[in-house]
Amino acid sequence: MRTRVVVATAFAVTVAAGVGVGMWASADDSGPAGSALRPSDSRSAASSPAARAKAPTPTPTRSYPLSRAPRTIPAVRSHTAARGPGWRPAGGHRVVVDDAELVDEGRLIAGELGLTYAGEKTDVRAGDVRLALNDDEGADPESYTMTVRGGRVTISGPADAGVFYGTRTLKQEVHGGGTAPEGVVRDEPAKPVRGLMLDIARKHFTAAWIEDRVRELGDLKFNQLGLHFSDDQGFRIESDSHPEIVSRDRLTKAEVRRIVDLAASRHITVVPEIDSPGHLGAVIAAHPDLQLRNVQGVPTRGAIDISKDESAAIVDDLLEEYAELFPGSQWHLGGDEYQALVVSDPEASYPQLAAAAREAYGSDAGVADLTTGWLNDRADTIRAQGRTMRAWNDGFFRDTSVKAAGDLRVAYWTGKEIGARLPVEYLSTGRKLINYNDEFLYYVLGEPLTFVYPTGQRIYEQWTPLVVRGTQPVPAKYDPQILGGSFAVWCDLANSQTQNQVAAGIRMPLRATVQKLWDRGRPDLSWAQFKALADRLG
């Protein structure tokens, strides 16, 4: 937590004689924060009964300690301290909005805190929570200001996303009977991409479980949920264009629409991924004629033959179909681990690919050129749907005559691939990058190969968005090009954990990840303090 505390002018709170006032905490705990100063025993100099009768009745006073910054996950970036009782929800309190665009945010926080949602109102009442849009042009749309003063709360931001995040802060502050401290919070994320990716292709997760993750992500101020739903082991979403490829255990389109709608209500974009030209085993199982075979006729696992027009046609059918189901702005094209490129001589091993490359791109073109061209063609298909695209870093190749489309963002996960390229190679060309560092952010079921389950403590203490590969950060000058990061759950050994075990296993890593994406600086809390806070907030 990088909190800037500004001391406000101290002031006394006067209370009319005979009227009781509750002394609320201005810290982050649920009980009183210290006791009020005792009223002075003012006495009249006159001692006679008449003189005492004429003496003014003393007015008891209470003063409050200076408030402390709220304790939330992620921590707020700035809190201006003040003196006062703070705010906590009570029966009869209202949530009101200044703009119809904030109706969803208003209804949600009212329901969560047991308040009355009163809609658009201009009158002011004790205990109100008011949501408002401001005219702060050029401000981060995910930023917000929350003011707690005079027994009321105002949350404002330049867009509904920021106001929503302000309601998440308020929800955490009052969790378990706590009090929102007096003062002003000014908050915004360091990084615009804060994600969780789920491999629902290798392991079927129920819609209800995914919805629970959406609610968890929303409360933690994540803003992306990746769904990798096509791989060698399964294709997990109902299809109208190619029902023959869909696995028995899958999500219906109705279930996906509910997930997408729930995510949108939490300002989370669902990022779909149909990985190609590798990891297409489920598609190939229904279309074995499209499987890549080497010069000896041996099939190549998970790889589609990109020299065939039919291969492009089926993948484009799916891209266009699911673009309707996932209306968000983001799309993941995959592009990793095409097995034709892991052999020592791709052109000799796959002469049909080499021939197609020369025909399409000239006599000097090779299989890597053809594979890059495939990625670019799929990018053309999804770009026409108005999406911003990303691809895994091992889908980008050096020393090719065909270059990956300039608007493709790099989803950097590993430095273990053949011909591995350092993150700086991408960043130095101006590409934008999303950090999926497999050293810290990969939760791989069963811990195959060299993977171990990541811990929240290691992320919290050692990782930052600049640590893209391994444990070493890239130069700070590239920070603006690193858009953020994503924690990833991969289900290589799908039966190693139940979905509830997965939820428990990623709980603290998610909280540590979002803390480092919301504020790139060194946290003020120790890991033990951070974990205790997470346990208290639930």
Active site residue 105: no
Of 337, 347, 417, 439, which residue is the catalytic one? Answer: 337
**How far, in Å, CA of 360 to CA of 363, rounded?**
9
- H runs (alpha helix) in 20-120: 49-54, 103-113
Which band of pLDDT confidence, cut at 50, 70 and 90, is reported for residue 62?
low
244 or 50, higher pLDDT: 244
**How far, in Å, CA of 524 to CA of 5, rounded?**
13
Q: What CATH topology corresponds to 193-522? A: TIM Barrel (3.20.20)
pLDDT tens digit string along 109-121?
Answer: 999 999 999 999 9
Distances (CA, A) of 115 to 107, 180, 432, 455, 530: 9, 15, 43, 37, 29
Distances (CA, A) of 350 to 335, 342, 354, 375: 18, 12, 7, 18
What is the rounded average pLDDT of the residues 220-248? Answer: 98
pLDDT tens digit string along 308-329?
Answer: 999 999 999 999 999 999 999 9
**Are residues 128 and 148 in contact, defined by beta-carbon separation less than 8 angstroms?**
no
Single out the residue of 237, 232, 234 nearest to residue 281, CA to CA.
232
Check residue 338 and give its pLDDT: 95
**How far, in Å, CA of 202 to CA of 282, rounded?**
10
**Are residues 511 and 221 in contact, defined by beta-carbon separation less than 8 angstroms?**
no
CB atoms within 10 A of CB 142: 23
**How far, in Å, CA of 527 to CA of 524, rounded?**
9
Q: What is the 3-state secondary structure (H, E, C) of 496-538?
A: HCCHHHHHHHHHHHHHHHHHHHHCCCCCCCCHHHHHHHHHHHC
**How far, in Å, CA of 203 to CA of 206, rounded?**
10
By residue count, the chain amounts to 538
Check residue 416 and give its pLDDT: 79
78-187 shares its CATH topology with 193-522: no
pLDDT tens digit string along 418-453?
Answer: 777 899 999 999 999 999 999 999 999 999 999 999
Which band of pLDDT confidence, cut at 50, 70 and 90, is reported for residue 136?
confident
CATH superfamily entry for domain 78-187: Chitobiase/beta-hexosaminidase domain 2-like (3.30.379.10)
Name the β-bridge partners of 201: none
What is the rounded average pLDDT of the residues 477-502? Answer: 98
**Edge-to-edge strands, sheet with 129-133:** 4-6, 78-81, 183-187, 144-149, 152-157, 129-133, 94-97, 116-120
pLDDT surpassing 70 at residue 50: no
442 SS3 class: strand
pLDDT surpassing 50 at residue 56: no
pLDDT tens digit string along 13-33?
Answer: 333 333 333 333 333 333 333
Check residue 420 and give its pLDDT: 76
CB atoms within 10 A of CB 192: 13
Single out the residue of 144, 25, 131, 166 nearest to residue 88, CA to CA.
25
In the chain, domain spans: 78-187, 193-522
